[in-house]
Structure 1
Amino acid sequence: MSVDTSKTARFPAFYKLSVAERVRMIHERGWLSAEDYHALASGEHTLKVSRADKLIENVVGVMGLPVGLGLNFLVNERDYVIPLVVEEPSIVAALSSAAKVVRGTGGFHVESTEPVLIGQVQVVDVPNPVQAKAALLQHKEELLNLANSLHPQMVARGGGAKDIEVQLLARAEGGDMVVLHLLVDTRDAMGANLVNTMCEGVASLVEKLTSGRVFLRILSNLADRALVRARCVIPVDALASKAFTGEDVRDGVILANEFASLDPYRAATHNKGIMNGVDAVALATGNDWRSIEAAAHAYAARGGRYTALTRWYKSASGELVGELDMPMKVGIVGGSLLSNATVGLNLRLLGVKSATELAEIMGAVGLAQNFSALRALSTEGIQQGHMTLHARSVAIAAGAGADIFDAVVDQLVEGGEIKVHKALEIIEGLRHGRAGIIVPADTPVPADGVSAYGKVILLGEHAVVYGSHAIAAPIPLAIHASVKDMPSGGVEMLIARWGVKCHFSRDPARRDSIQKSLGLIFDRLGLIERPMHIEVFPNVPRAMGLGGSAALAVAVVRALDRHFKLGLTDDEVNALAYQCERVAHGSPSGVDNTVATFGKTVLYQRDAAGAKPDIRELKLGGSVPLVIGISGRESLTARTVGNVRSAWMRNPALYEGIFEQIDRLALQGAQALEGHDLQQLGDLMNVCHGLLNALRVSSRELEELVQLARENGALGAKLTGGGGGGSIVALCPENRDRVIAAMRDAGYQAMAVDLG
């Protein structure tokens, strides 16, 4: 098999991302097409009631199940991201953990037999069973030809009926029944209907050959001719942990497996664990998990005693070796698979080209799940491994919001009482303790002068670059910065939350990315030769349209001003931050750095001649309750500003007309804010979003967030900032909690902010 090196199944810290961020990441890494990305991100892939009504009888609704991703899998030297549909906590995490261990030692190696199903034709009232058996075997080619004539397309694909077997089974009241087995290669189809049709089709010929009466004509779910054999080899040093040696873990896994091989009571639970993983893939790919379960358990009892499907043993060189041998008849084509859009999406994500390949992946998943379970049982115990994930389920059931979810889970685990009533107590305590979570936007910058505000633009973005008015307000997502002297080493900066660590070159030409804009600060202040360490603590999300770059520049300037006692005025801080914005964004309006510096809600107009902008502080007539929805998709302001500029240069009259309309909206918005006319303000925001759409700076995620806000009671909603991703702002004097919940349920981040 050729090795696919174009994609990797390794996604470190994937679990820490939001749902929207995870979906975007697997798209950006090449696992999802643009079409599938939009379907998954929007929820369009989910089964609708109207569609479900065509699948089964008496439909009254649709029940959803989570789709998770098994990561780190390396199977037959190829990377796979494996979709898993399962509601039980710990399965996805356990699989990914096991796959990570095995990946580091060469991955899973899986072999399989041909995808053969058995169809059974039962014949009773046979005068001479022995003679009937001989007649059937003698006419094998005739029977196979008849069966294959019913499905010529399957034969053309290399499948079809390949062989027959005949059994004589003794009946309780005496005499034998004759059972004909049709062995049918169904290729990439599950094949149940195909095999049943063949059994029906040969029935009359079977009766003629046996002089008996055909009774049942149906496939068997014991698919013991379609087997997978998965194997992995794990050195003991890959098994070691802080509490256990690799030898201890290896011997524990072997001993636990031996118990299952000897005792049917243990074997039932042992094999159920294997099927936890196998069934999750079967559901995700639209396969009949009930059939796979039946085959697995029947196969486990094939020797007359129910036993384990896996074998774990020590190799001659001391490694832990695991093997799984089980039936696995699955399909990747057919109407039943196409009836659910999620199934098609999952199969494309998995990237399998044949049913055999899918079966081999499922074999690897079964072995991985078994390893993870046995390792947990033989070390810290399975309960500890489940505890955190169970606590997450309890926190969800108790209604913990995203803002306190992790804290609720942590306290549940720490207390050891993982019950819904306890979660409700914790939530109540946290809610009470966080009564001040909605912070007024004009909260003063701390006296130490090393902070800066984020911003939200209520009306006027993009048009403000061309001389129109804009309304911008501070939001309490400050960026804090601190400076420490160093004995040597030049200027270094750490922004851990953004994953940034850099050392500033003294030569501006050798700087890249963030160094280009912030390096200007050290050059202008004459500090580039001073060795120092700057640490930045951002609460403003990066590239989300909330003024993060301007806030960063202001915070760094203020921190340097304080540390080196430079005596900069606010105007000087603002001017220097604006120069940083010019480097970062090309043609900024200056509004972001102004709000980051002064922390006031303002009506802002840039002077076309480059003189000092016109800034008027707005005196709000009352509190303005907002929700900020964060898409998780980065917005690069320089790109969107550049795109608008290119369009304006092609057709200045058209675009200046749009800018003039946005200008009028901003001026009316200032009146609405000072008069506290929230209905008018909401209407203006909605119209402004439409005009920004005309500038083509919105995105699918932003449109969904705007729609969610409006559907759940927002008076107005629009993108804020550069667009192309980033964030939206919604005006929510009522139903704010509902708007936030809807956004979070859709996989986005959301927060409440009060102006005034």
Structure 2
Amino acid sequence: MTNNDKSRIPKFYKYSVENRLDVLREKEILNQEDYVALREQMHLLTQNDADKMIENVIGVFGLPMGLGLNFLINNKPYVVPMVVEEPSILAAVSSAAKVVRNAGGFESESDDPILIGQIQLVDVRHPLKVRHAILQEKQEILNLANSLHPNMVKRGGGAIDLEVMIHQQDRHPGSMVVVHLLVDTRDAMGANLVNSMCEGVASLVEKLSGSKVYLRILSNLTDRAMVRSQCVIPTKFLDFNNSSGKEVRDGIIRAAEFAAIDSYRASTHNKGIMNGIDPLAIATGNDWRAIEAAAHAYAARSGRYTSLTNWYKNENGDLVGTIDIPLKVGTVGGSLKSNKAVGIAHRILGIESATELAEVMGAVGLAQNFSALRSLGTEGIQRGHMTLHARSVASTAGAPAELFEKVLERLVESGEIKVWKAKEIIEELKGEQKMAATGKIPLPDDDKDMSYGYGKIILTGEHSVVHGTHAVAAPITLKMKAKVWDHDKDVRLLIPRWGVEQTIEFGADHKYSIYKSLEMILDHLDLRDKPMNIEVFPEVPRAMGMGGSAALAVAIIRALDKHFELGLGDDDVRRLSFESENIVHGGASGIDNTVSTYGNLIMFQKGTPPKMETLSLKEPIPIVIGLSGVESMTSKMVKRVREQAEIFPQWYEKIFKQMDEIALASKEAIENRDLSQLGMIMNMNHGYLNTLGVSYPDVEELIEIARNNGALGAKLTGGGGGGAMIALCDSEKMQKRIQKKMHENGYDALIAEIKPSTP
């Protein structure tokens, strides 16, 4: 495996589209030109471009282009561009590729890129004589064909052989004789080339045979350009959900046997294979219809339609998967010039020849097949599709961010994945929230076993607080919840909503700070040798500047304390979660974990120990939290501000001093519930944050929406670079108006309030 492995981009799906492009550029998967083209959408077909490609153009139809990750094929890593509209395909193929990579990767081999041209002779009275006559002059026919395309011959291709097939005709006298012209098209798809060769030699074939030539056209059954891909997966890599590796292996084998003997099942089985191959074919500008035709014709070559893959157990008990499939593709031709997106896809993939592309395609098809059979053989594929569909339905129904996951869970459980049902569930949950807030109903049973940490918003003092000034922060109702239970071996972190199921490897070079942080916590509490499951149920949106990492640490520490009866106090939780924040963000101020631990509205100043004052508030203050949808990295923004402060210390010291005065003034405004003054302070604070360069266009749009719809004040909250903003309101009516406008502009928005602190 190469050391420069670009195909592994963990949690790529969690990034915004913009951040994904940034990552691809940093890894040099995209060059600067392609990065700009994708970011500015300059790669898309225009109507004029489309009008040159086909007839009767009226517009351009779009499809999503995504990436299949984790592929290791013939010991080379690949990032695989795929164009497809069906959800789950990219996630499924990337997950499968990761499993196979851990087992050593795919092996693929391919034949030369041979395309067959057919020349039809009908009503042949003496077919054997005709066959002999044509084969006698085979070289003359090949020479004529190659004279029509000398450049192809120079590239090592051209017409290489001739075959003559005889078919009996039932309705006409004589036989049908078909001449097969075998052409090596090298890196070209070759359809036009082969057709022109057939046209060019037709008169010579007529002369030699003494028979009439009719059709002269290529065949899309490209069984001379076969690809064979294989993977071998030990059962230790096959554990999936609640199924052991052996159970998964046996389930896949049984499902494959069904497809091998039943044509009805084989049709769906092979469609799943093409779910991987077709999107790559489209992305690379290949004729996916021809590829489909070849695959299905080959699957029926015995006279009975059957599976294109084979899954079985070898003598070591490993799962072995193979695919044999005709794949004639090209890497040069008109589509590359007429469609800019195709060129970008080729450069992302990094292939050097058509045969290499075909070998990648074969492995992608096998990976997609593995993923489908694994789901079918264990939990069933429908639940995964239901969840994806339910997400779309919940979003259409207007599920608020703080209820989204619960709406999703109840929607899937109901089996009625409909908008009306989602709206009904939303109203039920809102009613439960109101009753719980008044103490009229108990917490759900699930919550009783949970430990939690609060999410937070910062009212004044972001970034300057890292440099020793005051800041004011408040908890929000959204929490991180966690529970711990015993396990038979290892320490496992489970976050189902985020797709995390990770065994913690102590001492490893962790790529993600969450695992490094958890290792530190377990070491500190002397629990690293205790096998356990740590399950987290997140409510705080990820990477939105709302204290998610601190709340996660606090929830886990409290869950460990509860399960192992450690007797930790709030100060112990705060101190340990601060160490976690330092790992996650580097140079943390301590404000997030403090609010998350105590759950109170506080004035905070960094120190050892930090200065913390709980603020007095008689009535709640209504706010709206707007979510940009752009994930932000607090550590990145803190580092940027620190670097600038070191370059321009005299100016940044003045800015931090002004932000400190604003934070101190906000305390008085809050305790007097002077919302007008507090709103002005928030607006001023945001001005300084803009000066520090930590805001973001989407956040600015949300702030403008809030202020234009009556907000008393609006500002960025948290680290910036995306994330969230807060809008100060004077009534529930204003909250709803602002939330509605944010929703209309495509943003999630939460109605919340700053509550009086609990004693």
The TM tier, using the shorter chain, reads: 0.5 to 0.7
* Deviation string, structure 1 residues 423-443 (Cα, Å, up to 9, x no partner): 44434323433458999xxxx
Q: Of residues 2, 5, 18 in structure 2, which corresponds to 1:4? A: 2
Q: How many Å apart are 1:158 and its aligned residue?
A: 3.4
Alpha-carbon distance between aligned partners in 2 of 1:132 and 1:40, rounded to the nearest angstrom: 57
Asked whether the equivalents of residues 222 and 298 of structure 1 are also in contact (C-alpha less than 8 Å), the reply is yes
1:410 is aligned to 409
Task: Select between 345-354 and 715-724 the one with higher mean Cα deviation.
Answer: 715-724
1:703 is aligned to 697
Q: How many Å apart are 1:116 and its aligned residue?
A: 2.0
Task: Tell me, yes or no, if structure 1 residue 386 matches structure 2 residue 385.
Answer: no
Q: How many Å apart are 1:119 and its aligned residue?
A: 3.2
* Deviation string, structure 1 residues 280-301 (Cα, Å, up to 9, x no partner): 3333444322111101112223
Alpha-carbon distance between aligned partners in 2 of 1:481 and 1:300, rounded to the nearest angstrom: 50
Q: Of residues 734, 738, 742 in structure 2, which corresponds to 1:739? A: 742
Q: How many Å apart are 1:198 and its aligned residue?
A: 4.4
Give the 3-state SS of the residue equivalent to 2:352 in structure 1. coil
Alpha-carbon distance between aligned partners in 1 of 2:576 and 2:310, rounded to the nearest angstrom: 68
1:648 is aligned to 648
* Deviation string, structure 1 residues 157-179 (Cα, Å, up to 9, x no partner): 43344344455666644456665
Q: How many Å apart are 1:180 and its aligned residue?
A: 4.6
Alpha-carbon distance between aligned partners in 1 of 2:199 and 2:723, rounded to the nearest angstrom: 60
2:116 is aligned to 118
2:639 is aligned to 639
Alpha-carbon distance between aligned partners in 2 of 1:251 and 1:615, rounded to the nearest angstrom: 62
Task: Tell me, yes or no, if structure 1 residue 691 matches structure 2 residue 694.
Answer: no
Asked whether the equivalents of residues 165 and 182 of structure 1 are also in contact (C-alpha less than 8 Å), the reply is yes
Amino acid in the other structure paired with 1:386? Q
Asked whether the equivalents of residues 601 and 614 of structure 2 are also in contact (C-alpha less than 8 Å), the reply is no
Alpha-carbon distance between aligned partners in 1 of 2:551 and 2:364, rounded to the nearest angstrom: 47
Alpha-carbon distance between aligned partners in 1 of 2:40 and 2:218, rounded to the nearest angstrom: 37
Asked whether the equivalents of residues 542 and 634 of structure 1 are also in contact (C-alpha less than 8 Å), the reply is no
Q: TM-score, normalised by structure 2?
A: 0.67
Give the 3-state SS of the residue equivalent to 1:222 in structure 2. coil
1:279 is aligned to 278
Give the 3-state SS of the residue equivalent to 1:256 in structure 2. helix
Q: Of residues 261, 279, 287 in structure 2, which corresponds to 1:259? A: 261
Give the 3-state SS of the residue equivalent to 1:225 in structure 2. coil
Task: Tell me, yes or no, if structure 1 residue 228 matches structure 2 residue 227.
Answer: yes
Alpha-carbon distance between aligned partners in 1 of 2:142 and 2:159, rounded to the nearest angstrom: 10
Amino acid in the other structure paired with 1:330? V
Task: Select between 469-478 and 114-123 the one with higher mean Cα deviation.
Answer: 469-478
Alpha-carbon distance between aligned partners in 1 of 2:535 and 2:142, rounded to the nearest angstrom: 79
Asked whether the equivalents of residues 31 and 349 of structure 1 are also in contact (C-alpha less than 8 Å), the reply is no
2:512 is aligned to none
Asked whether the equivalents of residues 605 and 614 of structure 1 are also in contact (C-alpha less than 8 Å), the reply is no
Give the 3-state SS of the residue equivalent to 1:302 in structure 2. coil
Asked whether the equivalents of residues 714 and 739 of structure 1 are also in contact (C-alpha less than 8 Å), the reply is no
**Identity fraction in percent:** 44
Alpha-carbon distance between aligned partners in 2 of 1:598 and 1:368, rounded to the nearest angstrom: 47
Asked whether the equivalents of residues 47 and 62 of structure 1 are also in contact (C-alpha less than 8 Å), the reply is no
Give the 3-state SS of the residue equivalent to 1:111 in structure 2. strand
Amino acid in the other structure paired with 1:397? V
Amino acid in the other structure paired with 2:254? G
1:139 is aligned to 140
Amino acid in the other structure paired with 2:382? H
Task: Tell me, yes or no, if structure 1 residue 288 matches structure 2 residue 291.
Answer: no
Amino acid in the other structure paired with 2:305? Y
Give the 3-state SS of the residue equivalent to 1:4 in structure 2. coil
2:427 is aligned to 428
Alpha-carbon distance between aligned partners in 1 of 2:13 and 2:88, rounded to the nearest angstrom: 15
2:392 is aligned to 396
Alpha-carbon distance between aligned partners in 2 of 1:584 and 1:252, rounded to the nearest angstrom: 45
Q: How many Å apart are 1:232 and its aligned residue?
A: 3.6
Q: How many Å apart are 1:471 and its aligned residue?
A: 8.0
Q: How big is the alpha-carbon RMSD for the aligned residues of Structure 1 and Structure 2?
A: 6.5
Alpha-carbon distance between aligned partners in 2 of 1:480 and 1:420, rounded to the nearest angstrom: 28
Amino acid in the other structure paired with 1:648? F
Amino acid in the other structure paired with 1:115? P
Q: How many Å apart are 1:225 and its aligned residue?
A: 1.5
Alpha-carbon distance between aligned partners in 1 of 2:589 and 2:93, rounded to the nearest angstrom: 50
Task: Select between 720-729 and 462-471 the one with higher mean Cα deviation.
Answer: 462-471
Asked whether the equivalents of residues 120 and 216 of structure 2 are also in contact (C-alpha less than 8 Å), the reply is yes
Residue pairs, 1:108-257, within 5 angstroms: 108-122=106-120, 130=130, 133-134=134-135, 137-149=138-150, 152=151, 154-167=152-165, 172-174=171-173, 179-199=178-198, 216-233=215-232, 241=243, 249=251, 252-253=254-255, 255-257=257-259
Q: How many Å apart are 1:404 and its aligned residue?
A: 3.7
Amino acid in the other structure paired with 2:392? I
Alpha-carbon distance between aligned partners in 2 of 1:454 and 1:354, rounded to the nearest angstrom: 52
Describe the shift of the 1:626–1:350 C-alpha distance in structure 2 as closer, same or farther (beyond 3 A): same
* Deviation string, structure 1 residues 598-617 (Cα, Å, up to 9, x no partner): 95598x999xxxxx999999
Describe the shift of the 1:124–1:714 C-alpha distance in structure 2 as closer, same or farther (beyond 3 A): farther
* Deviation string, structure 1 residues 5-63 (Cα, Å, up to 9, x no partner): 43386778x59946669948975994844859967996848846657754554435634
Task: Select between 583-592 and 399-408 the one with higher mean Cα deviation.
Answer: 583-592
Give the 3-state SS of the residue equivalent to 1:139 in structure 2. helix
Give the 3-state SS of the residue equivalent to 1:331 in structure 2. coil
Q: How many Å apart are 1:578 and its aligned residue?
A: 11
Q: How many Å apart are 1:144 and its aligned residue?
A: 3.5
Asked whether the equivalents of residues 323 and 362 of structure 2 are also in contact (C-alpha less than 8 Å), the reply is yes
Q: How many Å apart are 1:137 and its aligned residue?
A: 1.7
Alpha-carbon distance between aligned partners in 2 of 1:729 and 1:306, rounded to the nearest angstrom: 60
Q: How many Å apart are 1:619 and its aligned residue?
A: 11
Describe the shift of the 1:315–1:286 C-alpha distance in structure 2 as closer, same or farther (beyond 3 A): same
* Deviation string, structure 1 residues 213-264 (Cα, Å, up to 9, x no partner): 765443321111110122344567777845975885476356424413xxx4
Residue pairs, 1:574-613, within 5 angstroms: none
Task: Select between 658-667 and 283-292 the one with higher mean Cα deviation.
Answer: 658-667
Describe the shift of the 1:279–1:405 C-alpha distance in structure 2 as closer, same or farther (beyond 3 A): farther
2:267 is aligned to 268
Asked whether the equivalents of residues 309 and 322 of structure 2 are also in contact (C-alpha less than 8 Å), the reply is yes
Amino acid in the other structure paired with 1:644? Q
Asked whether the equivalents of residues 112 and 226 of structure 1 are also in contact (C-alpha less than 8 Å), the reply is yes
Task: Select between 726-735 and 615-624 the one with higher mean Cα deviation.
Answer: 615-624
Give the 3-state SS of the residue equivalent to 1:642 in structure 2. helix
2:444 is aligned to none
Q: TM-score, normalised by structure 1?
A: 0.67
Alpha-carbon distance between aligned partners in 1 of 2:504 and 2:252, rounded to the nearest angstrom: 40
Alpha-carbon distance between aligned partners in 1 of 2:97 and 2:578, rounded to the nearest angstrom: 49
Describe the shift of the 1:204–1:629 C-alpha distance in structure 2 as closer, same or farther (beyond 3 A): same
Alpha-carbon distance between aligned partners in 2 of 1:90 and 1:296, rounded to the nearest angstrom: 23
Unaligned 5+ segments in structure 2 are 439-450, 484-491, 507-515, 527-533, 729-733
Q: How many Å apart are 1:361 and its aligned residue?
A: 2.4
* Deviation string, structure 1 residues 654-682 (Cα, Å, up to 9, x no partner): x7898899899999999999564999899
Alpha-carbon distance between aligned partners in 1 of 2:707 and 2:153, rounded to the nearest angstrom: 59
Q: How many Å apart are 1:328 and its aligned residue?
A: 0.7
Describe the shift of the 1:170–1:421 C-alpha distance in structure 2 as closer, same or farther (beyond 3 A): same
Amino acid in the other structure paired with 2:261? F
Give the 3-state SS of the residue equivalent to 1:390 in structure 2. helix
Amino acid in the other structure paired with 2:140? H
Amino acid in the other structure paired with 1:114? D
Asked whether the equivalents of residues 119 and 182 of structure 1 are also in contact (C-alpha less than 8 Å), the reply is yes
Describe the shift of the 1:306–1:539 C-alpha distance in structure 2 as closer, same or farther (beyond 3 A): closer
Describe the shift of the 1:314–1:721 C-alpha distance in structure 2 as closer, same or farther (beyond 3 A): closer
Task: Select between 422-431 and 31-40 the one with higher mean Cα deviation.
Answer: 31-40
Amino acid in the other structure paired with 1:736? Q
Give the 3-state SS of the residue equivalent to 2:148 in structure 1. helix
Asked whether the equivalents of residues 455 and 476 of structure 2 are also in contact (C-alpha less than 8 Å), the reply is yes
